[in-house]
Amino acid sequence: MAISGLRLLLFLLLRSFTSLPVQAAARGGSNSSGTDEKYGSFLRSLLEDMPRITEELTHGYMSNLELEIAARSIGSRCPNISRLYSIGKSVNGFALLVIEISDKPGQKEAEPAFKFIGNVHGDEPVGREVLINLANWLCDNYLKDPLATNIVENMHLHILPTMNPDGFALRRRGNANNVDLNRDFPDQFFPINDEINYRQPETRAIMKWVKQEHFTASASLHGGALVANYPWDGSRDQSKQYYGSPDDKTFRYMASVYSQSHYNMSLSKEFKGGITNGAFWYPIYGGMQDWNYIHGGCFELTLEISDAKWPKAAELPVIWEHNRMSMLNLAASLVKTGVHGRIYASDTGHPIPGLLMIKGIDSEVSLFRQH
Ligand SMILES: *[C@@H]1O[C@H](CO)[C@@H](O)[C@H](O)[C@H]1NC(C)=O
Ligand SMILES: *[C@@H]1O[C@H](CO)[C@@H](O)[C@H](O)[C@H]1NC(C)=O
Ligand SMILES: *[C@@H]1O[C@H](CO)[C@@H](O)[C@H](O)[C@H]1NC(C)=O
């Protein structure tokens, strides 16, 4: 009896240990935006427990240079529906390159804009690969596939395959200064990151970009779990609880579009329907998602798209297939739902800035930079 009791205890302990790295691996289990030393010692040992990224494991993944070449080749293959631009540089000087896909790239139109960001964490490289696939697929299928054509013609899609090229090159989560970029944004509940000049160059590049472009919605791609995560990521009192934003219904809808279009995300045993509120899963502070919603009026999801943070490259084509319809349907949902349009001044007939409020929803979306 005693032995089986011990066994049960050991089993439970093992289970709780094996379920934790998923959290630590994905959005991260700590509010720290600093170096590894700032993680609790418990968490640090979990991080060290993770499989090392061996040379063999990196084989088949694009290097930063190869990624840039791939992005440029999309530009030359589909010049009339794409544009390549940089939003800044990483600590070590890699350009943060964005591929814009639209029939009028670079022009401001009364159409929704969506952004995808990959590789926020250097050791979660699946996003950068599938985003290059997505751009290539749209380039190849415009005027052949109705969904591709719809996206190209009715919205502007901005794709940043890697936000953290230095972390990728170093095979680690943080950037070259070893800061977790998904803890580096100003936070609504704690003033930890309020000093803008102390933000990392990658973080500042995103903040400037979001203020410049008027994104309707976005998603960042992570690895280490299989779930579509939506705001809020943090709760006011740091407790683990469902903490919904004013637009909770819309966010749940968007997350469900992703999970239901995915090969098997919605079948998750851990997350009902394959979606979760961030704070309900575990609260984080300084994340990119909440900042986008509050400061950019941009509805951002955090997508965990593969159980393994760094799977063998041979698995990438399957992961891309499993996520392809999700990515397309999520982007296209902006065209198929919601209210679209411009507000014009009655006297001059010119578009004017304004605020959009919906009765019953305690948030407002500012309509700025309309030309
Ligand atoms: C972050 O966590 C530390 C303990 O690990 C705690 O003392 C601190 O108050 C937390 N800060 C925020 C902003 O949650
Ligand atoms: C882009 O070029 C293709 C042919 O290469 C053409 O069929 C298509 O109409 C062009 N699209 C736009 C938006 O100009
Ligand atoms: C989804 O499919 C992948 C690949 O076949 C598998 O590894 C994973 O366990 C599946 N997840 C769920 C929730 O069914």
CA dist 56 → 223, 253, 274, 312, 318 (Å): 19, 39, 31, 8, 19
Q: Give yes or no for a contact between 266 and 259, defined as CB atoms under 8 angstroms apart.
A: yes
Q: What is the pLDDT of residues 172-184, one digit of tens each?
A: 999 999 999 999 9
| pLDDT value at residue 239 | 92
User: Rounded CA gap, 202 and 83, in Å?
Assistant: 21
pLDDT tens, residue by residue, 294-342: 999 999 999 999 999 999 999 999 999 999 999 999 999 998 887 777 7
Distance from C-alpha of 300 to C-alpha of 315, rounded to nearest angstrom: 27
Is residue 126 over pLDDT 80? Answer: yes
Q: How far apart are CA 210 and CA 213, in angstroms?
A: 5
Sheet harboring 217-222: ordered strands across?
82-89, 95-101, 156-160, 113-117, 217-222, 299-306, 225-230, 275-277
Q: Which residue did the predictor score with more confidence, 206 or 370?
A: 206
Residue 18's pLDDT is 38
Q: What is the pLDDT confidence band of residue 16, given thresholds at 50, 70 and 90?
A: very low
Question: In this predicted model, what pLDDT tens digit does every residue of 39-95 receive, in sequence order?
Answer: 333 343 345 445 578 888 999 999 999 999 999 999 999 999 999 999 999 999 999
Nearest to residue 112, comparing CAs of 368, 351, 331, 324? Answer: 331
- Rounded to two decimals, what is the model's pTM? 0.84
Q: Which of 80, 81, 100 to mutate to test the pocket of ligand 2 (most atoms within 8 A of CB)?
A: 80
Percentage of residues in the chain with pLDDT exceeding 90?
Answer: 74
pLDDT band at 361 (very low <50, low <70, confident <90, very high): confident
Q: What string of DSSP letters covers 321-341?
A: HHHHHHHHHHHHHHHHSS---
Q: What is the pLDDT of residue 259?
A: 98
Q: Tell which atom from ligand 1 comes closest to the C-alpha of 286.
A: 13
Strand residues in 191-253 grouped as ranges (E): 217-222, 225-230
Q: What is the CA radius of gyration of the chain?
A: 21
- Type of residue numbered 261: S
pLDDT in tens, 196-236: 999 999 999 999 999 999 899 999 999 999 999 999 999 99
Which two three-digit tokens encode residue 108? 């401001």
Q: Ligand 3 pocket: which residues have CB below 6 Å?
A: 226, 264, 267-268, 307
Q: For residue 50, what pLDDT is reported?
A: 56
- pLDDT higher than 80, residue 249: yes
Q: Which residue has the higher pLDDT, 22 or 165?
A: 165
pLDDT tens-digit readout, 138-159? 999 999 999 999 999 999 999 9
Separation of CA 310 and ligand 1 centre (Å) = 29
Instruction: Please determine, for residue 19, whether its predicted confidence score (pLDDT) is greater than 80.
Output: no
Residue 349 gets which letter from DSSP?
Answer: -
The confidence score (pLDDT) of residue 6 equals 41
For 154-176, the pLDDT digits (tens) are 999 999 999 999 999 999 999 99
Given a cut of 70, whether residue 367 has pLDDT beyond it is: no
Q: What is the DSSP letter of 63?
A: P
pLDDT category of residue 27 using cuts at 50, 70 and 90: low
User: What pLDDT sits at residue 167?
Assistant: 97
Question: How many Å lie between the centroid of ligand 2 and the Cα of residue 78?
Answer: 8
**pLDDT at res. 360:** 86
Reported as a pLDDT band with limits 50, 70 and 90, residue 30 is: very low
Distance 182 CA to ligand 3 centre (A): 26
**CA 319/CA 131 separation, integer angstroms:** 11
- Within 6 Å (CB) of ligand 1, which residues are found? 31, 40, 190, 192, 238, 285
